[in-house]
Amino acid sequence: MTRFALNQATTKHWPLPELAAGCAEAGVSFAGLWREDIQAYGVAEAAGLMRDHGLTVTTLCRSGFFQEAGWLDENRRAIDEAAGVGAPVLVLVSGGLPPGSRDIDAARAHVGDAIGELVPHARAAGVRLAIEPLHPMYASDRCVVSTLKQALDLAAPHPAEAVGVCLDTYHLWWDDDVWAQIARAGREDRIACFQVADWLTPLPAGVLVGRGLPGTGCVELRRFREAVDATGYAGPIEVEVFNEEVWARPGKEILHEAIAGVRDHVL
């Protein structure tokens, strides 16, 4: 279980100090953090809290949203926050179509341009950008990058140490091309993070908060982990679940279920 990472979103209502103490108590040494939370707590303070509990920050979630006004400054701030909190990876969710637009090709091209503009700042800060493909059900309003192939194509022009991809089982499980693309991601040294969540139906309204803890849904999680490991990746396995019913429970209880889910269904 040394590879287990808790993404903070999984225990949404757990205050950061309790999360840090709870992870330390459970023997967890990796945590992925969210911008809103470290902004509220203080970036330097969050870095200190993690350090004091022997926790390594895996990822900072998230920036991107390149269709929004002010995206360049906002993403630079996010890079600085990632560096400040000690996250080696900043996860990028591209954003959807601009208001009123139907031109998804143009939106996808803009994502490529935007990442190109961010790379120098990210390299200077020592932060790797991770392009995250989201499930196609988010293509219009949240992320026009819908497949791992698209994410890898967007990363391709840039050095691998500057731009990678974030693999999340929830978003990729339906894609029969994903196994070939995971192998490609390994060959091209692009795997910046590996997140696991399970797929549940029926989907809730808005489709944002219907993910399942590992083992509660229909995703072949172990097959994903084996495919990712087969590329040589040996980094954290990060549980990132958005689910109202999960969030209603105590953070410690969620953490233990997430650990058990990874042990029984991913490893």
Chain residues in the site for a copy of itself (CB under 8 A)? 97, 101-105, 108, 135-137, 139-141, 146-147, 150, 173-176, 199, 201-207, 217-220
Report the nearest approach of a copy of itself to the CB of residue 140 (Å): 5
Is the separation of the CB atoms in 221 and 265 below 8 Å? yes
Report the nearest approach of a copy of itself to the CB of residue 60 (Å): 26
Report the nearest approach of a copy of itself to the CB of residue 129 (Å): 21
In terms of CB distance, is 117 or 177 closer to a copy of itself? Answer: 177
What is the four-CA torsion angle of 169, 140, 160, 219, rounded to 10 degrees?
Answer: 10
The DSSP secondary structure of 71-105, one letter per residue, reads HHHHHHHHHHHHHHHT-SEEEEE-B-PPTT---HH
Report the nearest approach of a copy of itself to the CB of residue 66 (Å): 17
In terms of CB distance, is 67 or 75 closer to a copy of itself? Answer: 67
DSSP three-state, residue 112: helix
In terms of CB distance, is 244 or 253 closer to a copy of itself? Answer: 244
In terms of CB distance, is 60 or 115 closer to a copy of itself? Answer: 115
Report the nearest approach of a copy of itself to the CB of residue 84 (Å): 34
In terms of CB distance, is 162 or 260 closer to a copy of itself? Answer: 260
Helix or strand (DSSP H, E) at 168: strand 163-168
CA dist., res. 107 & res. 81, Å (int): 26
The residue with tokens 């803890």 is 213
CA dist., res. 51 & res. 40, Å (int): 18
